[in-house]
Amino acid sequence: MNITYFGHSSFQIEFGGKNLVFDPFISPNPAAASIDVNTIKADYVLLSHGHADHVVDAERIAKNNGATLISNYEIVTYYQGKGINGHGLNHGGKWKFDFGWVKYVYATHSSVLPDGTYGGNPGGFVIWNDTEGCFYFAGDTALTMDMKLIPQTCPKLDFAILPIGDNFTMGYDDAAIAAEFIECNTIIGCHFDTFPPVKIDHDAAKKAFEAKGKRLLLPPVGEGISLK
Ligand code: NI
Ligand code: MN
């Protein structure tokens, strides 16, 4: 499994032989200036919710690649209106794609598309297949008790991508509790440092996870992430 960080909450994960691109916000992000959106390969584009800092490059990447969009029903319907294929889900629902299962799970946040269109309920994704394991991409969310349902209803998580920047989402102290709720020891942090309100102290964030016996990875933008 290859994981590449594109900055903010944007990742590319090769899973089940397909390229999954999550929450692409690359072209407006100065920290991601080294990444050319037009060279990104995607079979699927997954959007956790409708906010601009998660969807701004979705249309371009999907159209460049003929990719399939996976999101909530409302966001998928919106992009279908722009000629993009998609598969809509809603909270608690899962669907088997050619790379594996995707379950759309609860997130405590808000969701509106950049042009003001209603963006459905924000969510996260739990993704798994039989050979490569299982991971959770939380999207933007507060710490929520519903996270405890994930280990009860999904395969054991190998890693999770959690927001840690505070202000718009949970901060790293709450995210470390989330790691306990989801029973996962390896966390990749996201939604930090992009804007002044989400700037964090990296050492303090890592210590908050270490105190709970967890590992927090803070990947540099544009680099592959090794889980070893
Ligand atoms: Ni958001
Ligand atoms: Mn956000």
Task: Answer whether 189's CB lies under 8 Å from 216's CB.
Answer: yes
Å from CA of 130 to ligand 1 middle: 31
DSSP type of residue 27 = T
CATH number at residue 24: 3.60.15.10
In a domain, 26, yes or no: yes
Q: How far is the CA of 98 from the centre of ligand 2 (A)?
A: 28
Whether 82 is covered by a domain: the verdict is: yes
Q: Is residue 121 part of a domain?
A: yes
**Å from CA of 168 to ligand 1 middle:** 7
Nearest 5°: phi and psi at 5?
A: -95, 125
> What does the block give as tokens for 82?
């722009």
Ligand nearest to the backbone CA of 195 = 2
Domain region containing 147? 2-219
Q: How confident is the model at residue 1 (pLDDT cuts 50, 70, 90)?
A: confident
Q: How sure is the predictor about 190, in pLDDT bands with cuts at 50, 70 and 90?
A: very high
* Mean pLDDT in residue range 42-56: 98
Residue 224 within a domain: no
Task: Supply the pLDDT for residue 82.
Answer: 97
Distance from the CA of 53 to the center of ligand 1, in angstroms? 7
Over residues 127-137, mean pLDDT: 97
Q: Is residue 226 part of a domain?
A: no
Evaluate whether residue 15 is within a structural domain: yes
Distance from Cα 163 to the centre of ligand 1, integer Å: 10
DSSP assignment of 161-186 equals EEE-B-SSS-BHHHHHHHHHHTT-SE
| 22 is a domain residue | yes
For residue 75, the SS3 value is helix
Report how far ligand 2's centroid is from the alpha carbon of 145 (Å): 20
Tell me how many domains the chain contains: 1
Q: How far is the CA of 49 from the centre of ligand 1 (A)?
A: 7
How much of the chain, in percent, has pLDDT values that exceed 70? Answer: 100
Residue 11, exposed/middle/buried by CB under 10 A (0-12, 13-18, 19+)? buried
227: in domain: no
Among the residues of the chain, which ranges form H helices?
52-55, 58-65, 73-80, 149-153, 172-181, 202-210
pTM for the model: 0.98
Ligand 1 center–CA 51 separation, angstroms:
5
pLDDT score of 228 more than 80: no
What are phi and psi for residue 196, nearest 5 degrees? -50, -40
